[in-house]
A = this chain, B = another copy of it.
Amino acid sequence: MSAELDFIASLRPLATDPGARGLLDDTAVVDLGGTTLVLSHDMIVEDVHFLPTDPPADVAWKLVAVNLSDLAAKGARPLGVLMAYSLKHDTDWDAAFVAGLGKALSAFGLALFGGDTVALPPHAPRFLALTAIGRASGPVPSRSGARHGDAAWVSGTIGDAHAGLRIASGERNGADFLLERYRLPRPRLEAGQRLAPIVTAMMDVSDGLLLDIHRIAEASGVGAVIDLESVPLSDAYLTYAGDDRGARLSAERAGDDYELLFTASQDRAAEILALSEELGLPFSRVGRIEAGTGLRLLDRGEEIPLPPQLGYEHH
């Protein structure tokens, strides 16, 4: 997908404002003097990010959740959203979508501030863009603050959503839990707000754990090591995929997790574990930051080759 990277590289000279963070982050951070706005703008497209057979209410949830997940990783409190919506002359789909949107807005206490609609020609895939507007009350973690010696952590479990996508598309059978993890991701808002003052770098895992930790390492000018066996997998995933190296590598290259990936000084470990306990959300230490560059992968202490693709770059 180097076309997307090339395109973003071509935009970089235009993104000179500090708020753009060099287009290396998932959100923009705009300092209004006393108020720090955190803004995400993610779209989802039929046949790319969701299936035509996905329930429309779940598509609405996902549209909101993927944007809030970006805000969560910056420790921001979301205020509201603006939506661009495509109409396909299918009022049942639209009504179910609006019901799901209402549920998502109410679950996260969000305002719908406005947006835009367009009627699409029949051959066009549906597309939905959302701008989420949040506010940060403290430091806003970036991808670029990881330091040699930090531990790398991840929230929740990894790989579930991709397994759920394969179940949703009829390729495989598996537990409803996995399907739900694909369709109804839970942005880790409270965790992100509480972690923001503790971490050195943070982002959400949307394109695969290995790819995303590689991005943190690259942005921070350091190297990273991931311990394959320490990456948290759900029981449902283990039942679905097994527990060999292949199953673990699959999970760590899988997209759509929407968990938090962060680095922090080793001496913050007790604090992080206490917060995990308090929130009832697992935080697992999955590796560490080291000097140098690049990503290394260990399986029971032994270095193994990196997979040819570290994750998905469809975003």
Contact = CB atoms under 8 A, between A and B. Distances in A.
Nearest to A120: B45
A115 B129 CA distance: 10
Given A116-B41, A123-B123, A129-B129, A80 B7 contact: no
A309 interface: no
A20 B81 CA distance: 10
Contacts of A273: none
A114 B82 contact: no
A245 interface: no
Given A113-B39, A116-B41, A118-B48, A82 B28 contact: yes
B315 A117 contact: yes
A102 B91 CA distance: 39
A247 interface: no
Interface residues of A, number: 72
A4 to B, nearest CB: 5
Given A1-B119, A85-B7, A113-B28, A80 B41 contact: no
Interface of A: 1, 3-4, 6-8, 10-11, 13-17, 19-21, 23, 25, 27-28, 30, 32-35, 37, 39-43, 45, 47-49, 79-80, 82-87, 89, 91, 94-95, 98, 101-102, 105, 111-121, 123-125, 127, 129, 131, 133, 135, 314-315
